[in-house]
Amino acid sequence: MTKISGQSHSTDKAIDKIPHHVAIIMDGNGRWAQQKGKLRTFGHKAGVDAVRASVTLARKVGIESLTLFAFSSENWQRPKEEVGVLMQLFSLVLRSEVKKLNQNDIRLKVIGDISAFDIKLQEKIKKAEALTARNKSLTLNIAANYGGRWDIIDATRRIAHKVEQKQLSLNDIDEELFNQHVSTGDLPELDLLIRTGGDHRVSNFLLWQCAYAEFYFTDVLWPDFNEEVFNLAIADFAIRQRRFGLTGEQIMKQEDNDNNNENVIC
């Protein structure tokens, strides 16, 4: 029998504490701009730097999937000028950032009902996804015209269609099958949901996926969100005990068994 060194074991456990999938509700752009006497749209443009910082850190620490809530299905109700700026910004960022993402082995995926966007933007999205499709270091998901209820209804419709076409039976439908049909079906389970800006709600974001996610709320407005703040959220996640319906004692026993199995290799 061979014992694994304490150093290797410590490193393995540290890696275990990094969330596989993090989602962020990027809130506070408008308030950040207003505090500086600027138009709300100024805050949205400033928020792009926070996106870059988040993507950089996620790749650096080994997060597999990062999902950013960029534009909700309810955001169409905002002032027409603000919506227009957001669409222009989305198009501009796609053009300027996709090559960098590809160079850094980052896959881009847009989740949401993109059929509501103009044809040119839809084409840019598809080209960006195709260019980065084989990248492995990180999957960056941009939720655009996305809503959690829409996601659930869309998955339900697609499953119902398969039942109608006799590709599935009613008995085939379970949580695992449903999970395969939501927009994040090919991604790891959501571990950590971060919301900036001080509000404590999920705002119709990843409703199905949030079932056992850990939540982290910060008063920091999105343009001020940087690697330091992101690291605080990850550190907070690392010290939480995730029970998934079990008792704390059961989890501790499982961890003890896992430690014993990891320390000895036959």
E strands within 84-134? 106-111
Single out the catalytic residue among 27, 29, 145, 151.
27
75 has catalytic annotation: yes
Query: Which strand (E) or helix (H) includes residue 34?
Result: helix 29-35
Angstrom CA distances, 28 to 48, 65, 175, 210, 226, stand at 13, 23, 34, 21, 14
Query: What type of residue sits at position 209?
Result: Q
With a CB cutoff of 8 Å and minimum separation 6, the contacts of 49 are 223
- In the chain, count of helices (H) and strands (E)? 9, 8
Single out the catalytic residue among 12, 29, 49, 75.
75
Q: What residues form DSSP beta bridges with 219? A: none
SS3 assignment, position 132: helix
27 has catalytic annotation: yes
Which are the catalytic amino acids? Answer: 27, 75
